[in-house]
Structure 1
Amino acid sequence: MHQQNQSLLDALNACIAACEHCASACLQEEDVKMMARCISLDRDCADICALTARLVTRGSEHAQHLLQECAEICKACGDECEKHGAHMQHCKECAEACRRCEQACRQGVAA
C-alpha cells in the first residue's frame, strides 16, 4: 500500500480509537448531560472515520468526497473536545487525534 495511504489510514484508525474512548469516558462523567454534544460528535467522528478508512483502503472513487466530509467532522469534534480538554484528559487526547486526522484527510484530498 502507498505510504501516504498508510499514514492516512493510521490517522483515521487512531481517531476512531480516541473518539470511541472519549465517548465512553464522557458517559462516565458526573454531568453526562453537559457532555451530550461531545458524545454525539465522538460517535459521528468515529463512524465517518471508519467508513472513510474502508473506502480509502479499497480505492473507491468516492473516497475523495468522503475525505472532505471526514475532515469537517474531525474539525467539529476536535473543537468540541478542546472545550473540555483542560479538565478531561480523554477529551484532550481525542482533540489531538481529531486534529491529526483532519490534517491527514485534507492532505489526502489535495493528493
Structure 2
Amino acid sequence: MFSVTVRDHMMIAHSLRGEVFGPAQRLHGATYVVDATFSGSDLGPDGILVDIGRASEVLHEVLGALTYRNLDDEPDLADANTTTEVLARVVADRLADRVGELGAPQRLQVTLHESHVAWAGYERSL
C-alpha cells in the first residue's frame, strides 16, 4: 500500500456541549495541525498516488473554509458538537468530495493534532 501525507493547520473558535468538557463548554480557540494521508495499492501512469502539490492546495482550501471562524456560527455544523474527532470527519469528508482532483487513492485518513501529546483522526474509503 502506498501513502502520501500532506500537512497544514487551522485556527478555529468553538464551544463544546456537555459537562464532560468542563471549561471548554465556553467559547475558546484551538489551533490544529492537520495531516491528510491518502493511500492506495496502485500508482497512476506517472508513478504517483496523488499529486502532492494539488493535495496540499486542496487541503489548504478545505481548511480555509473553517479557519478564523467561530464554528458555533457555521450553519453546516449547527447540530455538531465540534470535537476533534468530529472535525477530523468533517475535513475528511470535504477532502473526499474533491479527491477526483488529486488522483485515485482508495483511502483517506485525516488527523488533527491538538498538541504534541494529543490528537484524533478519522479514516474512510474513497
Question: TM-score band (shorter)?
Answer: 0.3 to 0.5
Q: Which has the larger radius of gyration?
A: 2
TM normalised by structure 1 equals 0.34
Structure with the largest fraction of helix: 1
Structure with the largest fraction of strand: 2
